[in-house]
Structure 1
Amino acid sequence: RSIQSGINFSSGGDSVTVAAGTYVENVSLNKTIVLMSSEGAESTIIDANNFGTVLTVNPHSTQSYYGYPDIHADATVDGFTIQNGYTSGSSTASGGIIIGVSNTVIKNCIIKNNNSHQGGGVYAEGGTFYNCEILNNTAEFEGGGIFMTYRGFSGFEQTIIQNCLIANNNCGSGAGLFGPFNIVNSNIVNNTGNYGFASAGTSSIKNSIFYGNDGDEIGSFTATVTYSLIEDGYPGTGNIDADPLFADTANGDYRLSDYSPAIGAGTATGAPTTDIDGTPRPNPAGSSPDMGAYESMWASRLPIAGDVRDGLSGELSWSNSTTTIGANWDMFTDNGPVSYEVGVGTQSDSMDNVGNWAIVGTDTFAVITGLNLQDGVTYFVSVRGTDSDNQPSDTTTSDGFTVDTVLPQVLTIMEGSNATDQDYHSSTTSLPIGWTGSDDASGINFYEVTLGTAAGDSNTVDWISQEDSTSATLANLSLVEGSTYYASVRLTDIAGNISAVLSGDGVLIDFTDPVTGTIIDGTTEDLIFTGSSNTLTATWTGFSDPASGISHYEYAIGTSSESSDIAGWTSVALDTTVTRSGLSLGNGNTYYISVQAS
């Protein structure tokens, strides 16, 4: 069983149909016939087994550099896998297909895993390629996928590449393609070499995708590029520079995902009526065709949903409202304006069981009202969009917020100290304050403190935020002696609830020392001598403090006035007499008892 036998037996104008199977041979075709498979390329394989070129069309005219070729065969090859061709040496061309000067048509073929010096997959001097996949071919020099040399003979057209996928080929220059081409609705992607496409002549590119190739996507002396997606951009009408968002490049699926910017971005002028899979183009009818080899089912890309956040700005996790919630989201990505809807639900997959879907227009924020939210329950805001072609986006959902309506509490407040409450304070310029608070739901956000001449007043120091600190020192004050000041604290939790104000019991400002009284040695009269060598007694009167009053007395004993070298300063509370024993007094020495009031 041999394909070559069928070709040899045929005459010009015949059709040779090949049954499914794998044919290990090298095929030469020099007749104007149709060579076609009965079951398609996946089932009908011509395999050179790594020896020579798989298929040579019009072999006698190949590389006819001078004059017209003696013969040419305008053959059609339809529905084969061409694989495992191998030629070596600097003068060799294509392991897959060699096409001499002709208007040969190659369509619905898979050309893969071939190797040569030039044109790993195809070496062509003419011809047209429709609906072909040219994959994983290698050329040592130029044209990993296809190498084209256009001789310019009268009657022979420039090579056309239409509805083709040229991917994962490798070479030195022109990894996917090398030569002048007319490229329409094709994908040239992920090829390895100096350029994705290189040309030393004039080429035309329309409705095509060049992406993920090494180096520049297009290296050409003259290329007219329109309505094409070119990575890093290329001048021309309708061209775009964007990620094409293929369906699954990791597994070789270069169809457009529903969100591809190439959908509906092509031009109908000169576009084929079907795609590489036979899908009608454009689809749907009346829309603009897609860029690339594959036509999607959409008129334009579906909107790509952006992130949604609870709250009108930033992100919130708690809310103190049972009727209203705000939300904001990133603008959905689309070719045109997107109209949004929002819903509120109790689960991320129950998107509108609390607040039904509501249209909010093109704004990227919304305030949802009229809700019946419950304290302690977590809710989720969801957003979906529809574009100008009435195409839906995915639905995006927030990470949720919890309702907290319970007020936080300020528990204690201490004036005059960070640790204990004091009734009196001696500074007129600063006042330390301490406090405690609690919130069992959303948590403490910040405290505020104020100071006034009555509980809750802020007529001395207005409210000042202290974040979540539980102490502060109010500074740069001008407090009045004899006046009582009241510190007040309030607490705001993360949900926005504000506690009741808690005020201290007041602190009196007193910076004047107490009035000094008189002191006598002894109990009733002032002694000059004592007969004891170990005991001294003193009594005092007349100490006073008109502002805060006296809190306690202290005494000391020394060998000079106000000194304490015999007995250090010791408190006796509010006693006005003291007897100190256990001393070691020297005969003939004079001792002094000193008293101070606080």
Structure 2
Amino acid sequence: MRTQYLLLLTWCIGYANANAQTIRIPADYPTIQAGIDHAAAGDTVLVSPGIYSENLNFNGLDIVLASFYLTSGSTDFIAQTIIDGGNHTAVITLDQGESSYAEITGFTLVNGTHDESIQWPEFGGGIVCLGASPFIHHNRILNCRGRALNYSDFGGIYCRDSGARIFENEIDSIECFFVKKLGGIVSHRSALIIHKNAIRNISGGYVFQGGGVSADSSELDLFRNVIAEGHFDLAPYTASVRLFNSSLTAINNTLAGELALDTASIAGLTNNIILGPSVASGIYVFNNAEATIDARYNTIAGGWPGAGNFDADPMFADPEHFDFHLSESSPCIDAGDPFFSVDPDGTRADIGAFSVEQTPNGIQDPNPFPDQLLYPNPAKDYVKILRQYAFLTLDRYVVFSLDGKLVDQGPIAADGNLYVGKFPAGIYGIRLYSVDGKVHTCKLIKTGY
């Protein structure tokens, strides 16, 4: 019986993938929510450029919600495809157990807030994830302002009981007063992977736990983010990251404000720049709270014990205009952990979110063209995906037709082999997802002979 059930389950999953549809907005339905309402798991809701005044709910569906950025790779579509929440509630809500196969990509989201229909809402923001773990990448989340509320939470992205992956988003101008937790990203009882985001202009008054990223009872993985200082009236800090009873692994981030810890929080820090302009040290521990900090090879304002840590001006290119690239004379170049991964140019790791290109001996390895990640190409039966290539580690693939329809998806096999013999002859796109959050789009030519 168990064998029959597993066979039936496998057949159903394969059938669902084979029958996944692309729903086009506004060609198929006039609103994005109408497209979601008519979608099934595995479908893609593909949105044309324009301004859409909507508040969306995924309705528990593991679907891809995307602009034309998804199919073209052009970031121009991110600014051209706007969802305006109208200051009614969150712009997008996922609250019915959506998994990591739910995806939001390629939008500008504006004017998210608390739910105006509830007198005392618990949370609000641009994207709200409650018991959901979507993949949120390559979006702009802007101008979200909450109401003055007692003891609620508010964030550009708010996550509770979530395992979301949040990669390469711009989060700007998030504001609220009289709240417990406020941040560009707010995490409560969640385990979040937060890679390569830019977060700035987070502000409010009478905020208990405020920061560019604010976490309570959570586990955070931060990699190559740039997080400006927060501005909170009556607070003794301008925290870029605020931890309360939480654990943090932070590698190669640039924090223009402090790392603030409270109540049994744990932080492992490697190759970060932590400035902390408002207090004596870039790391601020509240009231001698029990906090465990393992810091190595970081640039920390005021200094901090640990191998390779130092206090120096990082010499950013133009920090007043949010350009935190290192100048060529920065002391952070080649000052990272020598036993850590090298920079893409093959030299010792730099400290901070951005590495500086160097050309050892006048020779530099070129970045691989995406199509080099597949071979043979053209192919009839199998292609091999290079799971490990240069500085890439790939773990998931999505195959789609040239008109954007989903053809196949799944984890990349350990040997990298992907059977394509079941596809009709033609040209396909393959999106390859790397563990560091990048999405590589390749072209596959499938032959019939």
Name the TM-score class by shorter chain.
Answer: 0.5 to 0.7
Q: Which residue of structure 2 lines up, in the alignment, with residue 10 of structure 1?
A: 39
Q: Tell me if structure 2 keeps the 8 A contact 1:144–1:174.
A: yes
Q: Which residue of structure 2 lines up, in the alignment, with residue 118 of structure 1?
A: 153
**In structure 2, how many angstroms separate the alpha carbons of the residues matched to 1:114 and 1:90?**
18
Q: Could you tell me how far 1:268 is from its partner in structure 2?
A: 9.1
Identify if the C-alpha distance between structure 1 residues 60 and 139 changes in structure 2 by more than 3 Å, giving closer, same or farther: farther
Q: Could you tell me how far 1:266 is from its partner in structure 2?
A: 4.4
Q: Could you tell me how far 1:257 is from its partner in structure 2?
A: 3.6
Q: Tell me if structure 1 keeps the 8 A contact 2:99–2:134.
A: no
Q: Could you tell me how far 1:233 is from its partner in structure 2?
A: 4.4
Per-residue CA deviations over 1:471-503 (Å, capped at 9, x if unaligned) read xxxxxxxxxxxxxxxxxxxxxxxxxxxxxxxxx
Per-residue CA deviations over 1:539-588 (Å, capped at 9, x if unaligned) read xxxxxxxxxxxxxxxxxxxxxxxxxxxxxxxxxxxxxxxxxxxxxxxxxx
**In structure 1, how many angstroms separate the alpha carbons of the residues matched to 2:326 and 2:92?**
32
**In structure 1, how many angstroms separate the alpha carbons of the residues matched to 2:63 and 2:337?**
34
> What count of residue pairs does the alignment treat as equivalent?
271
Per-residue CA deviations over 1:36-59 (Å, capped at 9, x if unaligned) read 2114322221111222111112x2
Identify if the C-alpha distance between structure 1 residues 218 and 75 changes in structure 2 by more than 3 Å, giving closer, same or farther: same
Output the amino acid matched with 2:247.
T
In the TM superposition, what are the counterparts of 1:504-523 in structure 2 within 5 Å?
A: none
Q: Structure 1: any 5+ residue segments left out of the alignment?
A: 62-70, 152-157, 272-280, 301-598
Q: Could you tell me how far 1:298 is from its partner in structure 2?
A: 3.6
Q: Which residue of structure 2 lines up, in the alignment, with residue 287 of structure 1?
A: 347
Q: Tell me if structure 2 keeps the 8 A contact 1:185–1:206.
A: yes
Q: Which residue of structure 1 lines up, in the alignment, with residue 110 of structure 2?
A: 83
Q: Tell me if structure 2 keeps the 8 A contact 1:41–1:81.
A: yes
Output the amino acid matched with 1:114.
C
Q: Which residue of structure 1 lines up, in the alignment, with residue 214 of structure 2?
A: 178
Q: Tell me if structure 2 keeps the 8 A contact 1:85–1:113.
A: yes
Q: Which residue of structure 1 lines up, in the alignment, with residue 309 of structure 2?
A: none
Identify if the C-alpha distance between structure 1 residues 136 and 128 changes in structure 2 by more than 3 Å, giving closer, same or farther: same
In the TM superposition, what are the counterparts of 1:512-551 in structure 2 within 5 Å?
A: none
**In structure 1, how many angstroms separate the alpha carbons of the residues matched to 2:210 and 2:335?**
26
Q: Structure 2: any 5+ residue segments left out of the alignment?
A: 1-29, 70-76, 147-151, 276-280, 284-293, 301-311, 361-449
| Higher relative helix content | 2
Identify if the C-alpha distance between structure 1 residues 246 and 113 changes in structure 2 by more than 3 Å, giving closer, same or farther: farther
Q: Which residue of structure 1 lines up, in the alignment, with residue 65 of structure 2?
A: 35
**In structure 1, how many angstroms separate the alpha carbons of the residues matched to 2:110 and 2:330?**
31
**In structure 2, how many angstroms separate the alpha carbons of the residues matched to 1:269 and 1:105?**
31
Q: Which residue of structure 2 lines up, in the alignment, with residue 138 of structure 1?
A: 175
Q: Could you tell me how far 1:299 is from its partner in structure 2?
A: 7.1
Q: Which residue of structure 1 lines up, in the alignment, with residue 247 of structure 2?
A: 202
Output the amino acid matched with 1:161.
I
**In structure 2, how many angstroms separate the alpha carbons of the residues matched to 1:20 and 1:265?**
44
In the TM superposition, what are the counterparts of 1:309-458 in structure 2 within 5 Å?
A: none
Q: Tell me if structure 2 keeps the 8 A contact 1:45–1:82.
A: yes
Q: Tell me if structure 2 keeps the 8 A contact 1:108–1:131.
A: yes
Matched, 1:239 2:298: yes
Higher RCO (CA-CA < 8 Å; seq separation 6+): 2
Q: Return the TM-score normalized by structure 1.
A: 0.42
**In structure 2, how many angstroms separate the alpha carbons of the residues matched to 1:6 and 1:188?**
35
Matched, 1:106 2:136: yes
Counterpart selection for 1:188 from 210, 227, 230 = 227
Identify if the C-alpha distance between structure 1 residues 36 and 239 changes in structure 2 by more than 3 Å, giving closer, same or farther: same
**In structure 2, how many angstroms separate the alpha carbons of the residues matched to 1:166 and 1:265?**
25
**Aligned structure 1 segments of 4 or more residues deviating by more than 6 angstroms:** 268-271
Q: Which residue of structure 1 lines up, in the alignment, with residue 430 of structure 2?
A: none
Output the amino acid matched with 2:198.
L
Q: Aligned Cα RMSD in Å?
A: 2.7
Matched, 1:165 2:235: no
SS at match of 2:93: strand
Q: Could you tell me how far 1:267 is from its partner in structure 2?
A: 5.3
Identify if the C-alpha distance between structure 1 residues 4 and 288 changes in structure 2 by more than 3 Å, giving closer, same or farther: farther
| Higher relative strand content | 2
SS at match of 1:145: strand
